[in-house]
Structure 1
């Protein structure tokens, strides 16, 4: 299957991910390519910048501290794809949307 960003983007240094957000039985998906920035992610350049610093893995994103309210409204996110020839597979459940933003910034802002 050809990715939606076209066959010309790829090779060993491809940087593209499929991102999902699951909340209350609903799932949203965005596709993001970062060489060049392309896809369905509305904040692609910001997300690519964060991912570049984190070697493509949202688990390695480091952001300034952000205080969040303590309530439980779980949201599960995932990222799968390739980054510079490495397979990325990330899945995490956060207590609420604020905790998600504090940990991942623009990556899951769609």
Structure 2
């Protein structure tokens, strides 16, 4: 019985030390996860691809766009694109909601436009497929974000 008490006591002490070590380790690593900036991340990769579905289409063009803390990336007009995204609250559907007034042929040669990344700390995954390049250009002509 005495042996059992000593063994259980040793196990309790060892478990307590292990828990303290884990808690201390958790505190030590918590500081490493602090953000480098006060701004929520806003960064997107925008693509134009040939094909019907975002997952299988062949990418023809791609640009990066980041908006915080300052606009940048390989997008040709990052400041205008970030301003437009802010006005749309990051909703890429709002940038292509109105149909264009340019006449296009009815040929089926699908083009898919995608936007993937983070907008103000929230995950964004968007795509739109157009029947051909003419329809795509008509729908995104007024969008600084999608005109690249």
Q: Which runs of 5+ in 1 are unaligned?
A: 1-6
C-alpha distance in structure 1 between counterparts of 2:128 and 2:96, whole Å: 15
Hey, which of these two has a bigger chunk of helix by percent?
A: 2
RCO (CA 8 Å, sep 6+): is it higher in 1 or 2? 1
Are residue 66 (structure 1) and residue 66 (structure 2) matched? Answer: no
Hey, which of these two has a bigger chunk of strand by percent?
A: 1
Q: Is contact 2:48–2:61 with CA below 8 Å preserved after alignment?
A: yes
Equivalent position of 1:97 in the other structure: 133
The TM-score, its normalising length taken from structure 2, stands at 0.58
C-alpha distance in structure 1 between counterparts of 2:139 and 2:94, whole Å: 9
Q: Secondary structure at the match of 1:41?
A: coil
Q: Displacement of 1:64 after TM fit?
A: 6.7
Equivalent position of 1:34 in the other structure: 67
Equivalent position of 2:45 in the other structure: 18
Q: Which runs of 5+ in 2 are unaligned?
A: 1-34, 52-57
Q: Greater CA radius of gyration, 1 or 2?
A: 2
Cα–Cα, structure 1 residues 46 and 12, in superposed 2: closer, same or farther, change >3 Å? closer
RMSD: 2.6
Equivalent position of 1:3 in the other structure: none
Are residue 83 (structure 1) and residue 116 (structure 2) matched? Answer: no
The TM-score, its normalising length taken from structure 1, stands at 0.74
**How many pairs are equivalent?**
103
Q: Is contact 2:45–2:65 with CA below 8 Å preserved after alignment?
A: yes
Q: Displacement of 1:100 after TM fit?
A: 2.8
Q: Is contact 1:79–1:91 with CA below 8 Å preserved after alignment?
A: yes
Q: Is contact 1:47–1:107 with CA below 8 Å preserved after alignment?
A: yes
